[in-house]
Each structure stands twice: as structure tokens, then as C-alpha cells.
Amino acid sequence: MRGIVITKGIAIPEGIAIPKPGRARRPDFLVVGAGLFGSVFAREATDRGLHCLVIERRPHVGGNVYTYEHSPKRPIVVHKYGAHIFKTNSERVWKYVLRFADFNRYTNQVLARFGDSLYNLPFNMNTFHQLWGVITPAEAEEVIARQTAPYRAAEPRNLEL
């Protein structure tokens, strides 16, 4: 994440004012946690002329989506708290997040193994073709309707029949 100042073990997003001793302005907001919500809230409030004091126990902002470069010689981006995928159809949201971070192109492709076969998840026409040999959505709907028919009249007591 760009625009972070680390001072005395505290991560402060760029643009968040650090008061000088004796000249501290009372903050309009105390933001506890510089994860996604806290960081965005503080950024937006500061852009509107408000003063935020952000406190964070970790030595970085971004919460669980924090990343860092493994080494200057080998710029491998490490997802410290596990992989994360950012997805949006909103051009406005996309332009906003690109102000703060660079993104790599990634398409999530999940496969599930059952027996000796691999299947696409979430289910798609390729999955249905592998399972039942169907080619059209209408054929898949027909098989699904036939397989679920015995359970339509059941009164489930929980998530199982």
C-alpha cells in the first residue's frame, strides 16, 4: 500500500496529520483500527477537511489485506494474512482503489476433485457437461429438476433433509 508513514511502531496513512507536541488539535474522529473500513473512513474524512486520529495495533495499515514486497532484489508481493481477491464491477470503486494500490490481473479458477475427476467450481456448463454430458442450459435444468424432484415436498428441519 502506498502512502504510509511508520512512526514509533504506529502506521499512519498518508495525509493523516500527526499533531506536534503541545499543538495537538482535538480530532473530529478517533478511528480505532486501520483496516479497510478505518483506512477508507479516515481518508474520506480527511479529504473533507476533518481531523482523524487513527490508532492501529499492527505496524501497518490495510488490515488483513496488507501486502509487502519480499525483497528489493526479487519483487515478490507477499499477502501476509493469506490470499485476497478484490472484485468489483464499479468503475468508480476501481478508480478509487487504484489511487492507493497496484493490482495484478488474476482470474480465480477453482477446481474440486471428486474421485479421479476434477470439476470447475462454482458450477458452470463445463461442470454440467462433465457430470451429465449435457450441452445446453435447458438440458442442465432438466437434469437438476429430475434430481431434485424427490425432495420438493420435504419439510427440512435444518439445512439437511
| Pairwise CA distance, residues 123 & 112, whole Å | 10
Residue pair 19/27 in contact by the 8 Å Cβ criterion = no
pLDDT mean values, one per 10 residues, the chain (161 residues): 46 59 78 92 93 90 86 82 85 90 80 90 91 96 94 77 51
For 110, the 3-state DSSP assignment is strand
Q: What is the pLDDT of residue 91?
A: 95
> Residue 109's pLDDT is what?
82
Q: What are the sequence ranges of the domains in the chain?
A: 4-97, 110-151
Query: 13 φ, ψ to 5°?
Result: -60, 145
Q: Which fold is adopted by the domain 4-97? A: Rossmann fold (3.40.50)
Q: Which of 132, 158, 155 is nearest to 145 (CA)?
A: 132
How high is the pLDDT of residue 2? 43
Residue 14 CA to its chain's centroid (Å) = 21
Helix (H) or strand (E) holding 57: none
Q: What pLDDT was estimated at residue 37? A: 92
pLDDT for the residue 106: 79
The pLDDT assigned to 3 comes to 45
